[in-house]
């Protein structure tokens, strides 16, 4: 299964939509998950333009003002549950856009951890913009204060708690 997860930082221009469509074609994507659409609404015409197909289904969480917004073929995430027929496995795909402030970030992590514990059987795939890094070197030119170091440590601990592995991305190096 090929899944594309992409933080578009705004989905307004036709050039960006065309680039996404090319990306979907090139990688023969089975699913497209987009973070930070910065849109209050996405309609069928836009989905068809992104996917380059008339037969398309989608879920969407609107942006608040110009922040966030999730789209993919609660609170900060969209959870899709189904059966991966090739493997005959229950599968959960979670598209996440995390808040930037530490308290709300931790609340989101806890919600996701509880979901993972409630549905421990099956395959899980977290597609994300966690607005967090796992290592200091992932943010060049940034000085770290105590709270930011705690965020890194807490984030890595959360990843270990939910028994998640970070798989290499095709392009980006951000977590």
* Feature table: binding site for Mg(2+): 7, 36
Binding residues: 7, 36
DSSP the chain: --EEEEE-S----HHHHHHHHHHHHHHT-SEEEEE----S---HHHHHHHHT-SS---EEE--BTTB--EEE---SEEEEEEEETTTTEEEEEEEEE--SSHHHHHHHHHHHHHHHHHT-SSEEEEEEE-S--SSGGGSTT----HHHHHHHHHHHHHHHHTT--PPPPSS----
């Amino acid at each position: 299964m090929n899944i594309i997860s992409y933080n578009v930082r705004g989905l307004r221009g036709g050039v960006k939509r065309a680039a996404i469509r090319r990306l979907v074609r090139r990688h023969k994507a089975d699913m497209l998950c987009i973070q930070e659409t910065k849109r209050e609404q996405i309609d069928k015409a836009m989905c068809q333009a992104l996917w380059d197909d008339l037969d398309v289904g989608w879920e969407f969480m609107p942006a608040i003002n110009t922040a966030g917004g999730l789209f993919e073929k609660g609170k900060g995430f969209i959870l899709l549950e189904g059966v991966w027929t090739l493997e005959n496995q229950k599968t959960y795909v979670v598209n996440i856009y995390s808040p930037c402030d530490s308290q709300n970030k931790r609340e989101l992590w806890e919600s996701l951890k509880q979901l993972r514990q409630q549905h421990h059987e099956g395959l899980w795939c977290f597609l994300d913009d966690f607005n967090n890094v796992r290592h200091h070197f992932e943010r060049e030119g940034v000085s770290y204060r105590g709270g930011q170091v705690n965020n890194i440590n807490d984030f890595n601990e959360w990843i270990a708690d939910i028994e998640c592995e970070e798989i290499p991305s095709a392009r980006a190096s951000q977590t």
